[in-house]
Structure 1
Amino acid sequence: MGSDSRFFDEAAAFPSRGAAVFMRRFDFHEAFRLPGTETSVTVTIYGIKNCDTMKKARAWLDTHGVAYDFHDYKTSGIDAAHLKEWAGKVGWEPLLNRAGTTFRNLTDAEKADIDEAKAFRLMQAQPSLIKRPVLDAGGKVIVGFKPEIYEKQFG
């Protein structure tokens, strides 16, 4: 089940209201939403389509019925506003992927004296420098993929 899927895993009936709500965890179909039940959480996962860690994270979300939007850095890039928002929540250093090939291929001058502003410039110029995935779940930001952390967030 991918991010564009609108299948429903559960059905909840409300006989007293004469209605039924068909829902998927964190994704309520508008056509069946009852007044006052607007509780869905917008989940967006940011990363690169072919990244192995991204594949694991997306598979976990799919398996657990979490609807999400996928933002691919390679095709859509990333703006400074997102980087600043995430850094405000988790710090800029966890966002910078120093373990990857892209970072190792930077010149010594590019690697030297990295501060927040320089890190943002580098990450915007080369989105592969952003640790993956970055998951935004209703304003809560999770960097990297660890099943136990996803379980706490969505379980």
Structure 2
Amino acid sequence: MLVSLYGLKNCDSCKKAMKAFDASGQAVTFIDIRAEADVASLAPKWLQQVEAAKLINTRSTTWRQLDESERAKAESDPAGLLAANPTLVKRPVIERGDDVFVGWTKDVQAALGI
């Protein structure tokens, strides 16, 4: 099954995920969320499966630099907020078929069979 990993090349969690996929023999396509991904079209699809609080990285530098009116969009327009600020997406986002996984936790690894 085709697996796509959305992240940043310098993200430690993304690097760990890529190594784990390689070690398990599962093919994965890496897509740079800042340079290659169309977050405007991806975010609504992701938000159908994952709640905004899980998808928006509120611990990031980007989040800390937003003013309160921008942060309020996390509740009112999370897809628009992510489209305008792709680095707010918690990484990695992994698509396998119709499933969407966020982060590189033990639960995600188990669900992916890694």
TM above 0.5, one fold? yes
TM-score, structure 2 normalization: 0.88
Q: How big is the alpha-carbon RMSD for the aligned residues of Structure 1 and Structure 2?
A: 1.7
Give the match for residue 81 of structure 2: 122
Q: Does 1:48 align with 2:8?
A: yes
The answer to whether the 8 Å contact 1:92/1:116 transfers is no
- Tell me the distance in 2 between the aligned counterparts of 1:142 and 1:150: 9
The answer to whether the 8 Å contact 1:49/1:72 transfers is yes
Q: Which has the higher contact order (CA 8 A, sep 6+)?
A: 2
What are structure 1's unaligned runs of at least 5 residues? 1-40
- Tell me the distance in 2 between the aligned counterparts of 1:69 and 1:113: 30
AA of the residue aligned to 2:85: Q
- Tell me the distance in 2 between the aligned counterparts of 1:127 and 1:91: 16
How many residues are aligned here?
A: 114
Q: Which has the higher Rg, Structure 1 or Structure 2?
A: 1
The one of 64, 80, 92 equivalent to 1:104 is 64
How many percent identity over aligned positions? Answer: 33
Matches within 5 A, 1:23-38: none
TM-score, structure 1 normalization: 0.67
**Aligned-pair CA distance for 1:75:** 1.1
Matches within 5 A, 1:82-101: 82-101=42-61
Higher strand fraction (1 or 2): 1
Give the match for residue 37 of structure 1: none
Q: Which runs of 4+ in 1 moved over 4 A?
A: none
Give the match for residue 139 of structure 1: 98
**Aligned-pair CA distance for 1:148:** 4.5
CA-to-partner distance for each residue in 1:7-38, whole Å, 9 max, x for gaps?
xxxxxxxxxxxxxxxxxxxxxxxxxxxxxxxx
- Tell me the distance in 1 between the aligned counterparts of 2:111 and 2:37: 29
The answer to whether the 8 Å contact 2:2/2:97 transfers is yes
What are structure 2's unaligned runs of at least 5 residues? none
Higher helix fraction (1 or 2): 2
Give the match for residue 113 of structure 2: 154
